[in-house]
């Protein structure tokens, strides 16, 4: 399940105090396999089933994603799953929230500057010869996808500078990801979101599972929380596309399939301990 004695002792702390543990998990590339069309992504069923086993055993299970909360709930199929009655989904990097317990969404109003910025994107893409790039509208953010273009990496490089300049003119920032450039408001990221829910839940152990650059702030916060006396375990969903997280992680698994297996093994071990204790 883990690699090395340090990772093992960090996992042991989780196993010994599951009720004080919060697990935060990313969606795309971690719970859901990467697919060309973002509307066709779906959570790996084995991973959802494993989370449903972990739900009653852990203090908190939270999906922390760049997706709008409503999209993540729909694509994840999280509503009404036995075992996930207390799941929390933090969407748009923590700006939005869904609580399974109440089935309520908290979705703040969209920033005014998004519509103005969006209007400038199609002519900019055309000028750069990238008019076929897919534009994903997320209400409070806009994502330009290059995965479906003939040369995704070259298109990403072509668009990176001009989209960053456009974002800056509208007081927004660019969040790069796997063949995506996402333009959104500054001020909140997955680290801020994770720290807030850890404090809200009074968690003493934090596990975070992620795969992409947008997960780095959460990885850094877990590191900081360790220096503040909490337990922390970092799991990387590795891929050939992004390597920024693997060197920081305690556990490296191969993509959403590996994540699902790791979650199943965690559930197996926690259920075995609970059975021994009863
Ligand atoms: O925080 P996450 O849950 O990882 O969401 C981040 C972005 O993920 C989505 O894009 C990624 O997944 C797509 C579907 O598999 C894929 O086509 C794309 O290339 C990936 O980068 C999503 O579309 C974005 O809105 C999210 O910001």
- 28-57 pLDDT, tens digit per residue, is 999 999 999 999 999 999 999 999 999 999
pTM of the entire predicted model? 0.97
Judgement on whether residues 96 and 126 belong to the same structural domain of the protein: no
The pLDDT tens digits for 146-192 are 999 999 999 999 999 999 999 999 999 999 999 999 999 999 999 99
Q: Which residues line ligand 1 (CB under 6 A)?
A: 26-29, 34-36, 38, 41, 65-67, 136, 138, 143, 145, 147, 177-180, 182, 212, 214
Judgement on whether residues 103 and 148 belong to the same structural domain of the protein: no
Report the CATH number that the domain containing residue 224 is assigned in CATH.
3.40.50.1000
Judgement on whether residues 158 and 174 belong to the same structural domain of the protein: yes
Q: How many domains does the chain have?
A: 2
Judgement on whether residues 34 and 96 belong to the same structural domain of the protein: yes
Judgement on whether residues 159 and 247 belong to the same structural domain of the protein: no
Q: Which residues of 155-173 are buried (b: 16+ CB within 10 A; e: fewer)?
A: bbebbeeebbebbeebebb
User: Residue 76 pLDDT > 70, yes or no?
Assistant: yes
- End-to-end CA distance of the chain, in Å? 24
* Final residue before a domain boundary, out of 136, 169, 184: 184
Judgement on whether residues 45 and 167 belong to the same structural domain of the protein: no
* Final residue before a domain boundary, out of 160, 184, 208: 184
Q: What is the mean pLDDT of residues 213-233?
A: 97
Confidence of residue 112 (pLDDT cuts 50, 70, 90): confident
Per-residue model confidence (pLDDT) at position 1 = 54
Ligand 1 atom nearest the C-alpha of 180 is 21
Q: How far is CA 161 from the centre of its chain?
A: 25
H/E stretch holding 69: helix 69-76
Judgement on whether residues 23 and 158 belong to the same structural domain of the protein: no
Confidence of residue 2 (pLDDT cuts 50, 70, 90): low
* Assembly ipTM: 0.99
Ligand 1 atom nearest the C-alpha of 27 is 3
Ligand 1 atom nearest the C-alpha of 34 is 15
- Going from the Cα of 227 to the center of ligand 1, the distance in angstroms, rounded, reads 31
Ligand 1 atom nearest the C-alpha of 63 is 3
- Going from the Cα of 112 to the center of ligand 1, the distance in angstroms, rounded, reads 23
Ligand 1 atom nearest the C-alpha of 177 is 21
Q: How far is CA 66 from the centre of its chain?
A: 6
What integer best gives the mean pLDDT of the chain? Answer: 96
- Going from the Cα of 61 to the center of ligand 1, the distance in angstroms, rounded, reads 20
24 within 8 A of 194, measured Cβ to Cβ: yes
Confidence of residue 4 (pLDDT cuts 50, 70, 90): confident
Per-residue model confidence (pLDDT) at position 52 = 98
What is the DSSP annotation of 173-202?
A: EEEEETTEEEEE-SS--HHHHHHHHHHHHT
Residue ranges making up the domain that contains 84: 5-108+188-277
* Final residue before a domain boundary, out of 151, 184, 217: 184
User: Residue 3 pLDDT > 80, yes or no?
Assistant: no
DSSP letter assigned to residue 108: P
Judgement on whether residues 83 and 49 belong to the same structural domain of the protein: yes
Q: Which residues of 255-278 are buried (b: 16+ CB within 10 A; e: fewer)?
A: bbebbbbbbbebbeebeeeeeeee
- Going from the Cα of 28 to the center of ligand 1, the distance in angstroms, rounded, reads 5
Judgement on whether residues 176 and 220 belong to the same structural domain of the protein: no
User: Residue 78 pLDDT > 70, yes or no?
Assistant: yes
Taking CA atoms only, the protein residue closest to ligand 1 atom 14 is: 38
Judgement on whether residues 157 and 227 belong to the same structural domain of the protein: no
């Amino acid at each position: 399940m883990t690699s090395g004695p340090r990772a093992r002792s960090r996992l042991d702390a989780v196993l010994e105090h599951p009720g004080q543990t919060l697990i935060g998990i990313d969606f795309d590339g971690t719970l859901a396999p990467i697919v060309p069309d973002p509307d066709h992504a779906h959570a790996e069923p084995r991973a959802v089933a494993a989370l449903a086993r972990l739900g009653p055993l852990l203090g908190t299970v939270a999906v922390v994603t760049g997706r709008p909360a409503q999209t993540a709930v729909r694509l994840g199929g999280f509503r009404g799953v036995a075992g996930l009655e207390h799941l929390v989904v933090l969407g748009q990097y923590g700006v939005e929230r869904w609580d399974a317990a109440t089935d309520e969404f908290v979705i703040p109003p969209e920033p005014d500057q998004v519509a103005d910025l969006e209007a400038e994107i199609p002519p900019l893409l055309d000028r750069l010869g990238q008019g076929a790039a897919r534009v994903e509208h997320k209400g409070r953010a806009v994502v330009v996808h290059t995965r479906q273009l003939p040369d995704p990496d070259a298109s990403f490089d072509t668009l990176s500078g001009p989209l960053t300049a456009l974002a800056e003119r509208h007081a927004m920032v660019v969040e790069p990801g796997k063949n995506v450039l996402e333009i959104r408001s500054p001020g909140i990221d997955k680290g801020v979101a994770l720290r807030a829910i850890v404090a809200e839940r009074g968690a003493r152990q934090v596990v975070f599972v992620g795969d992409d650059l947008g997960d780095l702030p959460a990885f850094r916060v877990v590191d900081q929380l360790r220096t503040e006396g909490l337990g922390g375990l970092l799991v990387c969903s590795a891929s050939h596309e992004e390597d920024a997280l693997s060197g920081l992680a305690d556990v490296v698994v191969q993509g959403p399939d590996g994540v699902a297996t790791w979650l199943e093994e965690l559930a197996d071990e926690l259920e075995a301990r609970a059975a021994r204790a009863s």
